[in-house]
Amino acid sequence: MNNFKAVVIGGSAGSFPLVVKILSSLPKDYPFPVFLALHRLKHIRNGFVEALSIKSNIPVIEPHDKQQIKPGIAYLAPSNYHMYVELGNTIALSTEEMVKYSRPSIDLTFDTASYVYKDKMVGVIVSGANTDGADGIRKSKERGAYTIAQNPDEATIKTMPDAAIKAAQMDHILTIDEICKFLVSIKP
Amino acid sequence: MEIEIDIKEIRTLVTAIKTNYGFDFGEYALSSFKRRLSRILEVYKFENMQKLTDRVATDKPFYELFLKEVTVNTTEMFRDPSFWKKMKESVFPLVKDFPVIRIWHSACSSGEEVYSMAIALKEAGLYDKARIFASDINEDVIAKALEGKYPARNMELNGFNYEKYEGPKKLNNYFKTNGDYAYMDLDLLKNVTFKKFDLVQGDQFQRFDIILCRNVLIYFNLPLQDQVIAKFAKCMSLGGFLAVGSKETIAWCKSAENFSTFSLEEKIYQKKI
Ligand SMILES: C[S@@+](CC[C@H](N)C(=O)[O-])C[C@H]1O[C@@H](n2cnc3c(N)ncnc32)[C@H](O)[C@@H]1O
């Protein structure tokens, strides 16, 4: 499959090992930016990026506000901020109210990313403990994005992928290994 | 069902506001501005952007309300405790011998940041020589700051931040709880002056030794960020300190040439001498 521009992944703090697995399977010169909207332990600002970086083949960074978006970099939503994709190929951060008890909110990253990338975006929802992400993936789907949920049978916590599958007709329901393979196979 | 907002509709609204009231939202960051518009459409039950635009353009009181609704006012006491620690350990020692320490909170929201500063200064024995100026574009949040009354449930996070800041006391030394509210010790405001001030259009002629501009630049585009930073550069003493939010940076602004980096980690800059 081709004609993509960005990958967006949502999950809760517990999805950490899955995200590590995905990042370690992507090649060094991955042709897309990867946005990671992951719930985080509250008010722990440091350590997450470092932990994700160890096994990742692409750099993982917590972006600053208005940072330029580049392919081959994973952008992790910083603690206590929502991460938005802004028009003009930059990232914007926001301290708006929590959404579904979450900041960063998966819904908001998916909403803003799909507004910009439309059918050029791949959205993935993995294991997680609340329904955050469901509204975001539904909107993404309405805007033409390609949507994937982790197979709830495999997810350690099913609530998040279950809610996503309920909210919109997913293009794929896959195991983590299949998600990795798919993300490697897609082309710009 | 949420209404999908088109960029063109946003531009029309921005132009209408500029024409009627002279305020320019054109350089506000689009994604969060759009989100605030969605919220306003929902809360005030507008069918579409056209209706909202008409109302804003023709109804001045509603425009005033709109201004307050589009701003994001979330804040905490001792937000980013490591920032406050840096202030205490590295910045305060450099200003402690000034006869007067002039401080400006340039987007103070409901005042949590101002109380944090007052507490930190007090604990450092510097409060009496501090003159604190606190401003925001939104008068409602300034009124809250002056009242010093916060939902009691917020104090847990505020107290947690204060602990991580390693304050010498307990935060509850500085407030009393009564029912659902915490009431701040208003003595902390003795040297504080609040004023409505718009960072986009306003000009500041006083001089400051420390300026805090935290978590407001994120709502602006780069050119507007640059413009605001340039204004700060003009009203700071040489060697004065400018602090932005922990995920903001002035590195991409041209006006950054007026500053050197004092703490990269905590986003504290120093006006070049
Ligand atoms: C998220 S709060 C930041 C509060 C505090 N500085 C902090 O970091 O916790 C942003 C504040 O910026 C204010 N603001 C937005 N646009 C402004 C402008 N043009 N001039 C002055 N203040 C503005 C809003 O009203 C809001 O209170």
B202 and B236 in contact (C-beta within 8 Å)?
no
The answer to whether A162 is a known catalytic residue is no
From residue B125, give the alpha-carbon distance in Å to each of A26, A142, B89, B120, B180.
54, 58, 13, 9, 32
Q: What is the CA radius of gyration of chain A?
A: 14
- The pLDDT, as a whole number, for residue B3 is 82
Q: What are phi and psi of A115, to 5 degrees?
A: -65, -35
Would you say residue B206 lies in a domain?
yes
- Asked if residue B218 and residue B243 are part of one domain, the reply reads yes
Of B35, B70, B105, which closes a domain? B70
- Positions in chain B whose pLDDT score sits under 50: none
Residue B76 lies in a domain: no
For chain A, how many structural domains are there in total? 1
Residues in chain A within 8 Å Cβ distance of B246: 45, 78
- Percent of all residues in chain A with a pLDDT value above 90, rounded to a whole number: 87
* pLDDT value for A45: 65
Same domain, residue pair B130 and B209:
yes
Q: Which atom of ligand 1 is nearest to the CA of A95?
A: 1
pLDDT bucket at A14, cuts 50 / 70 / 90: confident
pLDDT at A41 over 80: no
CATH code of the domain covering residue A155: 3.40.50.180
Q: What's chain A's average pLDDT?
A: 95
Which residues in chain B have Cβ-Cβ distances shorter than 8 Å to A65? 217-218, 245, 247-249
* Cα gap A29→A43, rounded to integer Å: 32
B2 inside domain: no
Position A93, amino acid: L
Where does residue B265 rank: exposed (0-12), middle (13-18), buried (19+ CB within 10 A)?
A: exposed
Tokens, residue B29: 């960051």
Which pLDDT score is estimated for A91?
Answer: 98
Using alpha carbons, select from B166, B163, B159 the residue that is nearest to residue B184: B159
DSSP conformation class of A185:
H
B65 lies in the same domain as B122: no
Q: What is the pLDDT of residue A47?
A: 83
Report the pLDDT value the prediction gives residue A32, as an integer from 0 to 100: 98
A54-76 as b/e: b if 16+ CB within 10 A: eebebebebbbbbbebeebbbbb
CA atoms of A61 and A45, how far apart (whole Å): 13
The verdict on B30 touching A (C-beta cutoff 8 Å) is: yes
**In chain A, what residues touch B84 (CB-CB under 8 Å)?**
none
**CB-hemisphere CA count at 13 Å for B244?**
24
* Tokens describing residue B111: 């005042």
Domain span holding position B61? 7-70
What Cα–Cα distance (Å) separates residue B67 from each residue in A98, B17, B73, B82, B206? Answer: 21, 10, 12, 32, 26
Percent of chain A clearing pLDDT 70 (strictly above): 98
- Report the pLDDT value the prediction gives residue A83, as an integer from 0 to 100: 98
Give the per-residue pLDDT at B1.
56
Domain-located, residue A128: yes
Burial class of B158 by CB neighbour count within 10 A (0 to 12, 13 to 18, 19+): buried
Confidence class for position A42, pLDDT limits 50, 70, 90: low
- Listed residue (A42, A55, A123, A49) closest to A81, CA to CA: A42
- Total residues belonging to chain A: 188
A114 a catalytic residue: no
pLDDT digits (tens, 9 = 90+) for A51-108: 999 999 999 999 999 999 999 999 999 999 999 999 999 999 999 999 999 999 999 9
**Collapsing DSSP states into helix, strand and coil, what is residue B177?**
strand
Domain coverage including residue A171 = 6-185
Residue type, B115: Y
Domains of chain B: total: 2
Q: Do B215 and B189 fall into the same domain? A: yes
Residue A81 to residue B160, Cβ atoms within 8 A:
no
Helix (H, G, I), strand (E, B) or coil at B120: helix
From the candidates A107, A111, A132, A135, give the one annotated as an active-site residue.
Answer: A132
Asked if residue A96 is part of any domain, the answer here is yes
Q: Which two tokens stand for residue A100?
A: 């579904």
Give the whole-angstrom CA distance, residue B77 versus residue B115: 7
- Is there a contact between A43 and B222 if contact means CB atoms under 8 Å apart? no
- Map residue B42 onto helix, strand or coil: helix
Q: Is residue A1 part of a domain?
A: no
Rounded to the nearest 10 degrees, the angle between the axes of helix B60-70 and helix B7-21 is 130
Instruction: Establish whether this prediction's ipTM goes over 0.90.
Output: yes
Looking up tokens 């008010």, which residue turns up?
Answer: A43
Domain boundary among B51, B70, B89: B70
Q: Do B253 and B226 contact (CB within 8 A), yes or no?
A: yes
The predicted pLDDT at position A44 comes to 64
Contacts 24+ apart (CB under 8 A), B168-176: B168/B123, B169/B123, B171/B77, B171/B119, B174/B115, B174/B119, B175/B148, B175/B150
Last residue of a domain, one of B70, B93, B112: B70
- Distance in Å, CA B65 to ligand 1 centroid: 16
Residue with tokens 């991409």: B252
* H-assigned helices in B102-192: 112-123, 139-147, 154-164
Decide: B180 and A54 in contact? Cβ < 8 Å.
Answer: no
Which has more confidence, A128 or B255? Answer: B255
